[in-house]
Amino acid sequence: VKLLIPRETAPGERRVAATPETVRRLVAKGATLQVERGAGQAAGFLDADYAAVGAELWDGEACDWETADAVLCVQPPRAEVLARLQAGALLVGLLAPYGATDLVERLNDRRASAIALELLPRITRAQSMDVLSSQANIAGYKAVLLAAAALDRYVPMLMTAAGTIQPSRVLILGAGVAGLQALATARRLGGVVYVSDVRPAVKEQVESLGGRFIDPPQLEEAPAEVGGYARQASEAFLAAQRQQLADQLALADMVICTALVPGRPAPRLISEAMLDGMRPGAVVVDLAVAQGGNCFGTIPGATVERRGVLLIGADGLPSTVPNHASALYARNIAALIEHVLVEDGFRLDPEDPILDGCLFTHAGVCRRDDIVQPAGLSPIG
């Protein structure tokens, strides 16, 4: 089979969907890998390194999209590329499937199949393919480094000849993959870390990493979880949670926001009034900013100062650690390709528990109208 790796064209995207390591791995399985010249450059992977492990290099214009069996990407390719896919071709990437009616129409036009890695199930068998986890991990790590670099204080406790410096106080909202890595990173820097989540099950994980868990408000309609994800909280629950967090915020030096509910706007956990209670010099990094933000006033890709508090709208952090982000992303994709690869093509079995949820278009038919058609969006909670 012929696999195509395009150079990513989305603004700010520096990752690539295959590295020399995964090209070697897939070539050994009998695949032909065609890599666009310069595809890995922003992530530190050179054309010569791809060529050395058996990739064929092509120039953007000269690409034969029509003959590709699969296109492996990070973000969705350009419309003109999609228009040239052959019938039955497979597209794999972070395809932003929620409400993606245009993309689905283009794919169905070509009778192409697409796997949206956002929809991969969080089951043990799919762990090696779990792009959301590998990338969220990087985002959680980098968010703490950004906050530490912007902070007007030390993070660790220091005993110096000029006296003792108290450690910074860190508040993390959401203890999923990103939040737990943020906790671990902040602890490595020596911070005292408090963590809030609505899923009581994460308390143990937080404590095992040296964090202090803030128990969720004890309301009857507590959102709890479904399939390991948080359900959407009611407005009453969020109001109780905000009240609880207001005191924490007033003491915090660094706040890392990672709270998400799949397919829904991010819960708004920090209001304008709560920001007013924070000390000047404190820093908020909002990883949920692209989903509407956990914090009032954060803007995707921008840093704004509000009454001395720095609000960092941290969109696309994995792309700012492009070498390791690509290394992990490419391994996740290689594991998925190996899972579906058969002698003369791909076996895309919609009954396969790994593919069932994430094969969102197949041979001209959209299989996940529930998430693609915004009108059909059903509440998760």
Q: C-alpha angle 297/298/299, rounded to 5°?
A: 115
Which of 110, 199, 331, 368 forms a contact with ligand NAD (CB under 6 A)? 199
Contact between 259 and ligand NAD by CB under 6 A: the answer reads yes
378 is catalytic: no
How do beta strands 113-116 and 359-362 pair?
Answer: antiparallel
One DSSP character per residue, 6-72 reads PPP-STT----S--HHHHHHHHHTT-EEEEETTTTGGGT--HHHHHHTTPEEE-GGG--GGG-SEEE
Give the residue among 226, 208, 19 at the shortest CA–CA distance from 122.
226
Contact between 198 and ligand NAD by CB under 6 A: the answer reads yes
Binding mask 268-297 for ligand NAD (x = CB under 6 A): -x----------------------------
Residue 255: enclosing H or E segment and its boundaries?
A: strand 254-257
Which of 118, 197, 286, 315 forms a contact with ligand NAD (CB under 6 A)? 197
Three-class SS of residue 140? helix
Nearer to ligand NAD, 91 or 126 (CB): 126
50 is catalytic: no
205 is catalytic: no
134 is catalytic: no
Nearer to ligand NAD, 128 or 320 (CB): 128
Q: Which of the 8 DSSP states describes residue 75? A: S
Q: Which of residues 154-173 bind ligand NAD (CB under 6 A)?
A: 173
Q: Which of residues 99-128 bind ligand NAD (CB under 6 A)?
A: 122-124, 127
Give the residue among 12, 87, 71, 84 at the shortest CA–CA distance from 36.
71
Say which of 122, 153, 187, 306 is annotated catalytic. Answer: 122
What is the closest distance, in whole angstroms, from the C-beta atom of residue 205 to ligand NAD in the complex?
A: 7
Residues found near ligand NAD in the complex (CB under 6 A):
122-124, 127, 130, 132-133, 136, 173-179, 196-199, 202, 228-230, 233, 241, 258-262, 267, 269
